[in-house]
Chains A and B, each alone.
Chain A
Amino acid sequence: MKKGKDKISQILDRYEKWTSNLISILQEIQNLYGYLSKDDLEKISEKTKIPLSKIYSIVTFYKNLHLEE
């Protein structure tokens, strides 16, 4: 799990603007694990200061962003 968290930070560090690239960030993380876990989303929210509710609103909108494996 620890390793995974580091990877998320690495991905976030590559983006200058987090808000407008949120979907790309989510896509990249999902490509890594096959889905977006609750822990990952919380981690993103914490680091980017984007409200968790907003991240969820986006993840649940799209067909190809998954909350489960």
Chain B
Amino acid sequence: MSKIVSQTKILLRNVDKINPEKIEDYLKNNGYQGLRKAFELGPKEVIGEIKNSALLGRGGAAFPTGIKWESVYQEKNYPKYVIANAEEGEPGTFKDKVLLEKDPHSIIEGLIIAGFAINAEQGFLYLKEEYHSAYKILQKALIQAEKNNFLGKNILGSSFSFNIEIRISAGAYITGEETALFNALEGERPIPRIKPPYPNKFGLFGKPTIINNAETLAYVPQIILSGADWFKKFGIPGSYGTKLICLSEDVKKVGVYEIELGKYTLREIIYGLGGRIKKNKKIKAVIPGGASTQFLTEKEIKVKYDFDSLKKVGNSLGTGGIMVFSTERNIPHLVRDFFAFYSDESCGYCIPCRIGTKRIYEILTRLTNGKMKKDDYENLRLLGELMKDTARCGLGQACVNPLLSSLEKFKSEYLTPKKWIK
């Protein structure tokens, strides 16, 4: 019935095949060969290769990694820093966890290469608060990497010295925002900074900083080792390579998969990898990239899964967290639950987000309890638009995406809300 969807495993190649606690296993599978090759090439060539590969950031914003690295390389302000952002807080996203726990060295190697490319001395791995098991595995991995001289002083006999420190968040969604993460690492309250200045000029401790998603960094060793042209064999122009996706909610086979970009439609991915919809229901709505992207209706999921195709329909690939909702679900209830989360997690610095998320949650709670007021629909829209235009950071601007898109696409559910049955 459904098209067979096969995974392309670039990032997941080692997952469940090697013992993540043994560096020997990673070394057998071309481990740290990318780093050796990077030393042969030199920083400029390394950045050139990443630029050529047209690798886009996998954390949600899809910024070209090579351009980010080059802009930090050109800065003359030392010391510079590199950070792997593994603060995967986005609801519906759990892809980095798989890499961190099952192939930790791929991220570490990527981070070392990034450090080498811009001549940084210190790297940070910023982990989500809940990832205790990953923390232990990563700590072991760092010790083993240092023993093998991939970290520490004069790495592999070169003049390059580099260290990585793992920091674990104390539990706040906002610390995943890059500038809030800098503040967290500096020991400040994690409040997002105003951009510009961008991290390439004024990052951690006010120094030029590369901050990449953990998934993005995990591609780096293989791109350096096998070349940009090899990487471009996967995917389509504008969306080269693969993407880790997290299928969740109402599909039978929830999990992390790796697919080639631009090869399949969203519908093919959901049915091909996720299997059936729970209780044999049909799909009502899909969120394609974590809870801060827009809803797609059942008709709209014929869109191809790549950066440009989703952009064309006004949506985004986001983090790759595909949330599938069946016809049993009630959309206003779902959005209310999202806003229970966002109103809790808003850092409270800017008024649009602090008050906006609370008011939206209140209205949705009232509405889903069947006590709707006359202006509620319009007020939700106004609040959403206001937050999108005026919030200080990505949290406030993007969290209204599911609200605004569902107000438009599932208008009737808002106007005739069902009572919460449980």
Chain A residues packing against B (C-beta within 8 Å): 18-24, 26-27, 50, 57-58, 61-65
Contact = CB atoms under 8 A, between A and B. Distances in A.
Contact of B187 (A19, A64, A65): A19
A20 to B, nearest CB: 5
Of A19, A20, A65, most buried by chain B (CB within 10 Å of CB) is A20
Interface stretch (B16-24, B69-77, B164-172): B164-172
B391 interface: no
Contacts of B185: 20
Nearest to B348: A61
A64 B130 CA distance: 10
B186 A64 contact: no
Contacts of A18: 187
B186 A27 contact: no
A19 B187 CA distance: 6
A61 B168 contact: no
B186 A26 contact: no
Contacts of A24: 167-168
B170 A63 contact: yes
A18 B184 CA distance: 13
Interface string B187-223: 1111000000000000001000000000000000000
A63 B184 contact: no
A21 B167 CA distance: 9
B187 A61 contact: no
A36 B255 CA distance: 37
Contacts of B167: 23-24
B129 interface: yes
B129 A64 contact: yes
Nearest to A58: B189
Nearest to B190: A61
Interface of B: 129, 167-172, 184-190, 205, 347
A12 to B, nearest CB: 13
Contacts of B187: 18-23, 50, 58
Nearest to B175: A62
A62 B130 CA distance: 13
12 contacts: A19-B186, A20-B186, A22-B187, A26-B170, A27-B170, A50-B187, A57-B189, A58-B188, A61-B190, A62-B172, A63-B129, A63-B170
Nearest to A27: B170
A64 B169 CA distance: 9
Nearest to A21: B187
Nearest to A62: B170
B186 A61 contact: no
Q: What 10 pairs between A and B have smallest CB-CB spacing? A: A63-B171, A62-B170, A64-B171, A22-B187, A20-B187, A19-B187, A62-B171, A65-B170, A20-B186, A64-B170
A2 B9 CA distance: 55
Contacts of B186: 19-20
Given A18-B187, A63-B171, A63-B172, 14 more contacts: A20-B185, A20-B186, A20-B205, A22-B187, A23-B167, A24-B167, A27-B168, A50-B187, A57-B189, A61-B172, A61-B347, A62-B169, A62-B172, A64-B170
B224 to A, nearest CB: 31
B11 to A, nearest CB: 29
A23 B170 CA distance: 7
A21 to B, nearest CB: 7
Given A58-B189, A64-B129, A23 B172 contact: no
A18 B171 CA distance: 20
A57 B167 CA distance: 19
A50 B188 CA distance: 11
Of A57, A58, A61, A65, most buried by chain B (CB within 10 Å of CB) is A61
